[in-house]
Amino acid sequence: MAKVAEKLVVEVVAAHNLMPKDGQGSSSAYVEVEFEHQRRRTRARPKELNPVWNERLVFAVADPDDLPYRAIDVGVYNDRAASGGVAGGGGAAPHGRNFLGKVRVPAAGVPAPGEEVVPQLFTLEKRSLFSHIRGEITLKIYRTNSGEVVVKSKPEKPVKAVVSGPEVVAAPPVTGPKKQQQQQQPVVAVQPPPPQPEAPMDILPPPAPVLMKPVMLADPYPASAVFSGPGDFSLKETRPRLGGGTTADKASATYDLVEQMQYLYVRVVRARGVAAVGETVAEVKLGNYRGVTPATAAHHWDQVFAFSKETIQSSFVEVFVRARGSDDHVGRVWFDLSEVPRRAPPDSTLAPQWHIMEDRKGERGAAEVMIAVWFGTQADEAFAEAWHSKAAGVHGYGPLGSIKSKVYVAPKLWYLRVSVIEAQDLIPMDKGPMVIGRYPELFVRAQVGSQMLRTRPAPVAANRGPSSPFWNEDLMFVVAEPFEEFLVLSLEDHVSPGRDDVLGRLVVPVSSIERRWDEKLVVSRWFGLDRGTGGGNVASGNTNRFGSRVHLRLSLDGGYHVLDEATAYSSDLRPTGKQLWQPHVGVLELGVLGATGLIPMKARDGRGATSDAYCVAKYGQKWIRTRTVIDSVCPRWNEQYTWEVFDPCTVITVGVFDNCHVDKPASGNTTLAVRDNCIGKVRIRLSTLETDRVYTHAYPLLMLHPSGVKKMGELHLAVRFCCGNAGNMFHAYVRPLLPKMHYIEPLLVRQVESLRFQATNVVAARLGRAEPPLGREVVEYMLDHRSHLWSMRRSKANFFRLVTVLSGPITIGRWFELVRSWNRPVHSCLAVFTFLVFVTMPELILPTAFLAMAFTGLWRYRVRSRHPPHMEMRLSHADAATVDELDEEFDTFPSSRGDVVRFRYDRLRSVAGRVQTVVGDIATQGERMQALLSWRDPRATVLFSIACVLAAVIAYTIPMKVLVGLWGLYAMRPPRFRSRMPSPLMNFFRRLPSKADSLL
């Protein structure tokens, strides 16, 4: 089917607070827009620092599918020809122009035809470090079908627009002719300016310009950023140029799931023959970008610098060697970029060479520097550890380390089972008889790291004295390799409220505990107790051995899978013991392309709101973190990662975060905890993906906030699931979901949730010790740390999920009632005929049912979903949640809302009361079934017994086909032969007794 031709419309509304450039305290500004080698411009507004245009510039779109990967360049200039009062819109030979600012707008977030168009305020950016500009520009950018845009030629009535400055009059919108292309200086490619969120604005009736006031983002989730409309939250398929757009075999190509990004790499190794005394630094300069190595006295740096191709504004790169703190260089060498070689893996790394440096006078001396310079892509080995030109404003070891891409391996988790059996020969703290005055309440407290559990008080036994308690209770902990913790057990006596006397203590290294892989129990042992001082600390100088001992069975259970995620979307289901693993079934490849339309999370240096975004992906034990893209609401990462897949019914989670360590002071002040902001996440179930197919989609990033659900942007991913062995793949579908130990020795439900909470804490603590650390807030958000807490929204979502599941049986019941109503006699006759056929030939029932299901599956293949599932707003019931429900969901645990807890508790009682009634009704029906033969109602049991005897006689004398046929015909008889009163059987059942009348 032919595609509908589209046009891109850039409506230039107004500019504000421009820099005067005409030498008379003003400017005659016009706007020039370029898109896909098409250039349009507005007419000039003479002598205006707050000009208003309201002009539409229309561009042809060659390929709408390629639009998300294009950009719109907007430049604001002062027309010197109009400075004397002459309108510059005619495009006559100009006398020149002055640069007033520029903006690059990604076309990925441009509204499609029919979608709501919102004006956006952009901060004007510099062309180079020496540009003197200021101000903002308001644009409305949207797409429309060919022929829908009409540019008015008649002058319209001038409309006054409210702007931050003198009152101006909006002139009629007229599209001026193209201006001749002028010779430009090299332009520094900068990050696109972030779109400002909506704010209160003063607008007169259209077509007056919509001018937006700057917003200070004190709240990282401004309420004005709420997206509305079903299209904003949908999944969109994209068509990026993966692998550079080559026609080579993508399966064997390097980084074939991402777009190729070209970089200039400069590796500065060391220098020799330098006359400078003390520490020296090496500086790499490319146009207006420069990178500096750390200072060292040995003149050895071995630092790699990466300059993005879009930031290259010079034809040569320079390397200087300077003394620390000095502005004068002791040596210089430069390279012509046209002579720089290109390299792509799997080629070996480029060997650095010695180059003679020039001194300040331009003369060659004895000083040399070892350098390697080459062009490459993000597939280069040096990419991850290189200093990037887009991070030029980030200083300090901590912030620089936090913006690099890293791969983390989560620790291997084990369940530690502590079986407390009994104790013997306990001596009280006061050394008196234990039975005088009271019976002791003896219990065992166990602690591993920050995890602490205790047994129940030992029960009173007739054959045991108070000095030999018996528990036989299991305590479960989560520990991680390498085992650095100690198991600390203390046997205590609860003397009074707030007082527990320690009767003995035991410290066991976790690394010395025996491991088991199956249900076979390890051998139990008696452990001698050390006499504690009662203070709770074990010190070798304050303890002495005595005769009390405790009987324990300690084991590290490797046959379980330690759940750190919810089972519904777990990424790994293997047991801890590696010898129990099955062969892997395939490989998962993920290409993190970029994001578009991110909500700005911070304001920086008066440059407007922006974000420093990075991605984290978690599957199994492998966590990945992309590099941080500085100052961009449309970041491009283009990083590719791979995981082995052991079970196709697992889920990969990808989250987007704003790096708050970038603005951390270089002094490394750690008094204030820095937490990264969560932007959104995506889950993809691997079993929903077709094998060897590349999925390229833009996933909506949804974030729940106390003010409602918000779309924080879109995440562009490329996903491919490759199957290595089809036999192993299909065999995985018939294996148990969890390892064998979960079914032989199942854990209690309350244990699973508690252990998952502990596992999350252990993983967060270990990943927080990496360099750079992965923050606790990141780990908890990726693992859904709060998903087990009560939420009215989740309860409603689960209820409506249940309603959807039951819609099938309900539909069948409605269809049966429609047949019984005989409103459509033809359908009812066909149903009766089919029923009689099945009654006479019952051997056709099961084959027909199975064939019907098979053909239904084949028929629905045509309408199958072509996109992977994503997190849905309506399914989560996030769009209908009230403010109070959201505030309750974001409340801390325990609650910090003391003034509204009573209202919420009453509401919870109301909801629970309705649930209680439904559960009671279901129990009543079951008890009535039991009452048929329980003689609770003697007369009812007699009647039912007589009815059973008669039914047995009838079933023996009359064939089953006849009975079923008569029952079916009786049930489907026309309404005129039916009574509206309940049937005698239903009346009899409802009169049966239940245990409801025995409740208090």
Give me the residue spans of the domains in the chain: 7-82+97-144, 262-392, 412-429+439-531+548-557, 578-664+673-783, 792-998
pLDDT value, residue 170: 35
pLDDT value, residue 984: 83
CB contact at 8 A, 756 and 747: no
Identity of residue 346: P
Other beta carbons less than 10 A from residue 792's beta carbon: 19
The answer to whether the bond into 894 is cis (omega within 30° of 0) is yes
Please give the Cα distance from 650 to 620 (Å, whole number). Answer: 9
Q: Order of strands, edge to edge, in the sheet holding 97-106? A: 38-41, 29-35, 71-79, 97-106
Percent of the chain having pLDDT more than 90?
A: 27
Residue 540, Cβ density class (10 Å: 0-12 exposed, 13-18 middle, ≥19 buried): exposed
pLDDT value, residue 86: 37
Residue 672 has pLDDT above 70, yes or no: no
Please give the Cα distance from 385 to 371 (Å, whole number). Answer: 17
Which residues sit opposite 322 in a β-bridge? 281, 329
The radius of gyration of the chain from alpha carbons, rounded to an integer in Å, stands at 37
How is 134-181 classified by DSSP, letter by letter? --EEEEEEEEEETT------SPPPPEEE--SSS-EEEPPP-PPPPPPP
Structure tokens at 254: 């390097």
Do the domains at 412-429+439-531+548-557 and 578-664+673-783 have one common CATH topology? Answer: yes
323 backbone dihedrals φ, ψ, rounded to 5° = -75, 145
Interval 654-674 mean pLDDT: 72
Cα 586 vs. chain centroid, distance in angstroms?
Answer: 24
Residue 770 has pLDDT above 80, yes or no: yes
Please give the Cα distance from 136 to 76 (Å, whole number). Answer: 10
The tens digit of pLDDT for each residue in 340-389 reads 998 877 788 889 999 999 888 888 888 899 999 999 888 888 888 888 87
Please give the Cα distance from 316 to 302 (Å, whole number). Answer: 21
pLDDT value, residue 123: 85
**Closest-CA residue to 557 (of 614, 498, 515, 589):** 515
Residue 130 pLDDT grade (very low, low, confident, very high; cuts 50, 70, 90): low
CB contact at 8 A, 125 and 166: no
Please give the Cα distance from 677 to 601 (Å, whole number). Answer: 8
Interval 923-948 mean pLDDT: 86
Cα 452 vs. chain centroid, distance in angstroms?
Answer: 31
Lowest mean pLDDT segment, chosen from 362-371, 636-645, 906-915, 970-979: 906-915
With a CB cutoff of 8 Å and minimum separation 6, the contacts of 741 are 518, 519, 557, 559, 560, 575
**Closest-CA residue to 310 (of 65, 106, 592):** 106
- The CATH architecture one would assign to domain 262-392 is Sandwich (2.60)
Residue 507 has pLDDT above 90, yes or no: yes
CB contact at 8 A, 161 and 14: yes
Whose tokens are 């239940």? That residue is 994
Please give the Cα distance from 756 to 360 (Å, whole number). Answer: 64
Please give the Cα distance from 831 to 146 (Å, whole number). Answer: 53
The tens digit of pLDDT for each residue in 944-985 reads 889 888 888 888 888 888 888 888 888 888 887 878 788 888
CB contact at 8 A, 529 and 543: no
Residue 193 has pLDDT above 50, yes or no: no
CB contact at 8 A, 293 and 303: yes
Interval 71-96 mean pLDDT: 65
Please give the Cα distance from 414 to 482 (Å, whole number). Answer: 11
Q: Which residue has the higher pLDDT, 982 or 683?
A: 683
Lowest mean pLDDT segment, chosen from 75-89, 114-128, 306-320, 983-997: 75-89
Residue 22 has pLDDT above 90, yes or no: no
pLDDT value, residue 641: 93
pLDDT value, residue 393: 64
**Closest-CA residue to 783 (of 621, 564, 625):** 564
The tens digit of pLDDT for each residue in 836-873 reads 888 888 888 888 888 888 888 888 888 877 778 777 77
Whose tokens are 């005129």? That residue is 976
Helix (H, G, I), strand (E, B) or coil at 399: helix
Please give the Cα distance from 171 to 939 (Å, whole number). Answer: 95
Helix (H, G, I), strand (E, B) or coil at 784: coil
Residue 450 has pLDDT above 60, yes or no: yes
Q: How far is CA 194 from CA 103, 108, 327, 607, 809, in A?
A: 10, 13, 35, 9, 51
pLDDT value, residue 729: 85
Interval 899-904 mean pLDDT: 76
DSSP state of 633: S
CB contact at 8 A, 494 and 443: yes
How is 664-695 classified by DSSP, letter by letter? S-TT---SS---PEEEEEEEEEGGGSPBTPEE
Residue 835 has pLDDT above 80, yes or no: yes
Identity of residue 297: A
How is 936-947 classified by DSSP, letter by letter? SSHHHHHHHHHH
The tens digit of pLDDT for each residue in 684-709 reads 999 888 899 999 999 999 988 887 88
Structure tokens at 142: 């949207």
Lowest mean pLDDT segment, chosen from 40-49, 503-512, 520-529, 844-853: 844-853
Domain at 578-664+673-783: CATH code: 2.60.40.150
Residue 3 pLDDT grade (very low, low, confident, very high; cuts 50, 70, 90): low
Q: Which residue has the higher pLDDT, 268 or 253?
A: 268
pTM, entire model: 0.68
Identity of residue 932: L
pLDDT value, residue 606: 60
pLDDT value, residue 83: 66
Please give the Cα distance from 414 to 563 (Å, whole number). Answer: 10
Other beta carbons less than 10 A from residue 609's beta carbon: 22
Please count the CA atoms within 13 angstroms of the CA of 469 that sit on its side-chain side: 28
Interval 536-554 mean pLDDT: 63
Query: b/e per residue, 51-66, with b = 16+ CB within 10 A?
Result: bbbbbbbbbebeeeee
Residue 742 pLDDT grade (very low, low, confident, very high; cuts 50, 70, 90): very high
Structure tokens at 643: 């995981």
Other beta carbons less than 10 A from residue 925's beta carbon: 12
**CATH topology (fold) of 7-82+97-144:** Immunoglobulin-like (2.60.40)
Please give the Cα distance from 759 to 771 (Å, whole number). Answer: 21
Interval 307-333 mean pLDDT: 86
Identity of residue 504: G
pLDDT value, residue 221: 31
Residue 404 pLDDT grade (very low, low, confident, very high; cuts 50, 70, 90): confident
With a CB cutoff of 8 Å and minimum separation 6, the contacts of 517 are 558, 559, 575, 577, 579, 580
Instruction: Report the run of H or E that residue 764 belongs to, with start and end.
Output: helix 749-767
The contacts found for 629-632 with CB under 8 angstroms, 24 or more apart, are 629/191, 629/390, 630/191, 630/390, 630/391, 630/393, 630/394, 630/403, 630/662, 631/191, 631/390, 631/393, 631/604, 631/607, 632/191, 632/192, 632/194
Interval 728-732 mean pLDDT: 85
pLDDT value, residue 157: 38
pLDDT value, residue 478: 95
The tens digit of pLDDT for each residue in 528-540 reads 988 754 433 443 4
Number of H helices and E strands in the chain, helices first, is: 14, 40
Tell me the H-state helices in 841-958. 845-859, 883-889, 901-930, 938-957
The answer to whether the bond into 20 is cis (omega within 30° of 0) is no
3-state secondary structure 930-998: HCCCCCCCHHHHHHHHHHHHHHHHHHHHCCHHHHHHHHHHHHCCCHHHCCCCCCHHHHHHHCCCCHHHH
Q: Which residue has the higher pLDDT, 398 or 710?
A: 710
* Mean pLDDT, the chain, integer: 79
Please give the Cα distance from 486 to 419 (Å, whole number). Answer: 16
pLDDT value, residue 364: 84
Torsion of CA 212, 218, 219, 224, to 10 degrees: -10
Domain 412-429+439-531+548-557 has CATH 1.20.1260.10: no
Residue 219 has pLDDT above 50, yes or no: no
pLDDT value, residue 116: 79
CB contact at 8 A, 112 and 231: yes
With a CB cutoff of 8 Å and minimum separation 6, the contacts of 706 are 883, 886, 887, 890
Residue 225 has pLDDT above 70, yes or no: no
CA distance between the termini of the chain:
71
Identity of residue 175: T
The tens digit of pLDDT for each residue in 93-116 reads 345 888 899 998 888 778 888 787
884 backbone dihedrals φ, ψ, rounded to 5° = -70, -40
Interval 265-293 mean pLDDT: 87
Please give the Cα distance from 643 to 571 (Å, whole number). Answer: 11
